[in-house]
Amino acid sequence: MKVITRFAPSPTGFMHIGGVRTALFAYLFAKKNEGTLILRIEDTDQARAIEGSIQHIQDSLSWLGIDWEYGPDKPGPFGSCIQSERMDSYRAFAQKLMDAGHAYPDPYTHDEITAFRETAKAEKRPFLFRDHRPETFSVWDGKSPLRFKVPEIKRYEWNDAVRGELEAGEEALDDFILMKGDGYPTYNFAHIVDDHLMGVTHIFRADEFISSTPRFLSLYDALGVPAPVFVTLPAILRDDRTKKLGKRDGAKDVLEYKTEGYLPSAMVNYLALIGWNPGTDEEIFSKDELIQRFSVDQIQKSGGAFNEMKLKWFNREHILKLSSDEFLKHASLFLSKETYTALNKKNLLESLVPLMRERIQTFSELKDMDEAGEFSFYAEAPTYPVSGLLPKDDMDKQRTATRLKQVMSLLNTLNDSEWHDQKIKEVVWPYAEEKGRGLVLWPFRFTLSGRGKSPDPFTIAGVIGKKETITRIEDAIRALG
């Protein structure tokens, strides 16, 4: 049996991590089994649809490398993947159900139903529409809601691949609406028709649908189609585990993480571990490794907490694994054009990678550093007030110039091939120790960066090269008179 899974978001706004995690699990399972993932847009609640959401959903999944075989951009052999473009199928199945006596037009007005509901409440019993089912069914005009006639009021037992054996009694069954007064099908009806027509074998979804499952099962029964395997994912909880993660607790648009400089690989890695357990202590996985390792058996029943600090930690681990080229590809999106071009022109990007890499958890930190001027002095000699060159403990220009001259002659003992931070430190360090570190290293560093705070002078000198280092020191000595 070929595995077919689907991710079926409603286009009602941005995708947050809960939705993405569902998509990821459906994707990992499909890939692992050489199956298919369908991206289906459930837009039958037209009042809730938000313009631009479909594109946003696709952008979010594409960013994470969760790709689908059929989607809003690629119809399948079963037609469109957008529910509002599949209306003929719902009408056909509604007709089938009517023909079999399993569906009937709702004869009541809104006020009448409200009255039924209130009476039930006053009598302290649950309101069930099936208690008011008309004796004879009229012909459906397509304008009133069409209701499902539950074929049999009975107890349902079913198996959930994660939760195990579940059951619910008659109270969970009712004559729910199949087609609404506005002509669109309900979620309850449309998803079952689509899953059937699309050949879906496994449904990955959130736990809020468990209580509706008996209704779904009664509809599968009426249609005479087998239910797919239900794979109910554990909730994503707030970090303090007191409740489900909501928008107010930081369940934000997943593309915001892109803007903040998270790597898609880190996001995928972290989300996979919320509710799924690899069975070992390992934590760092690439997407391909996750595909290899993924199994439904290791999805947890209980909720998993989302913690942004932990996500940051994963991001750092993934940043450490990037090749220099990959690192620069991401960095280029966060450095200003001017900085990037200037560094690139002088061939300094590559040598700055270790320095950048060691200082960030997310790429947007590079942007902050760039804006604070922390990269500009590499490509361009800094301008500074001469007084800045003088160490606090000895503000004498003459002596500072003498020390810089000594540093310069020590540096001149190194040839180009020996020019790297370790070696530079080796030749300058004994002199700094002898004269007082601050007295020697402060002017040396300030000469190169023009800033009160910057990496140490050996690192900067190593990056900008011998020629540029010597030139900057010469200029400083001249400025000191």
Of 247, 329, 345, 467, which residue is the catalytic one?
247
Q: Where does residue 130 rank: exposed (0-12), middle (13-18), buried (19+ CB within 10 A)?
A: middle
- Give the strand pairing for 164-168 and 156-160: antiparallel
- Spatial CB neighbours of 107, under 8 Å, sequence gap ≥ 6: 134, 138, 144
Q: How far is the CB of 43 from ligand GLU (least distance, A)?
A: 9
Q: How far is the CB of 280 from ligand GLU (least distance, A)?
A: 30
- Give the strand pairing for 236-237 and 304-305: parallel
Q: How far is the CB of 210 from ligand GLU (least distance, A)?
A: 12
Q: How far is the CB of 42 from ligand GLU (least distance, A)?
A: 4
- Residue 187 or 384 having the CB closest to ligand GLU: 187
Stretch that binds ligand GLU, among 2-10, 118-126, 348-356, 428-436 (CB under 6 A): 2-10
Residues numbered 128 to 187 that lie near ligand GLU (CB under 6 A) are 187
Give Cα separations from 230 to 162, 202, 209, 368 (angstroms): 8, 6, 10, 46
| 346-357 burial code (b ≥16 CB/10 A, e <16) | bebbebbbebbb
Stretch that binds ligand GLU, among 5-13, 48-56, 150-158, 177-185 (CB under 6 A): 5-13
- Residue 39 or 448 having the CB closest to ligand GLU: 39
Stretch that binds ligand GLU, among 4-12, 102-110, 248-256, 328-336 (CB under 6 A): 4-12
**CA 383, CA 253: separation in Å to the nearest integer?**
42
Residue 60 in the binding site for ligand GLU (CB under 6 A): no
- Residue 13 or 278 having the CB closest to ligand GLU: 13
| Site size toward ligand GLU, by CB under 6 A | 7
Task: Provide the 8-state DSSP code for 294.
Answer: -
Q: How far is the CB of 8 from ligand GLU (least distance, A)?
A: 4
**CA 404, CA 410: separation in Å to the nearest integer?**
10
Query: Which of 191, 238, 258, 403 is the binder for ligand GLU (CB under 6 A)?
Result: 191
Query: Which of 205, 318, 367, 445 is the binder for ligand GLU (CB under 6 A)?
Result: 205
- Residue 303 or 443 having the CB closest to ligand GLU: 303
- Binding flags for ligand GLU, 22-51, as an x/- string (CB under 6 A): --------------------x---------
- Residue 49 or 322 having the CB closest to ligand GLU: 49
Q: How many CA atoms lie within 13 A of 14 on its CB side?
A: 11
**CA 428, CA 435: separation in Å to the nearest integer?**
11
Helix axes 397-411, 421-435, angle to 10 degrees: 140
Count of CB atoms situated within 10 Å of the CB of 244: 17
Are 174 and 148 in contact by the 8 Å Cβ rule? The answer is no
Query: Which of 9, 234, 261, 455 is the binder for ligand GLU (CB under 6 A)?
Result: 9
**CA 437, CA 56: separation in Å to the nearest integer?**
55
Query: Which of 3, 4, 5, 10 is the binder for ligand GLU (CB under 6 A)?
Result: 10
| Residue 243 appears among annotated catalytic residues | no
Using DSSP, state whether 231 is helix, strand or coil. strand
Binding site for ligand GLU (CB under 6 A): 8-10, 42, 187, 191, 205
Residues designated catalytic: 247
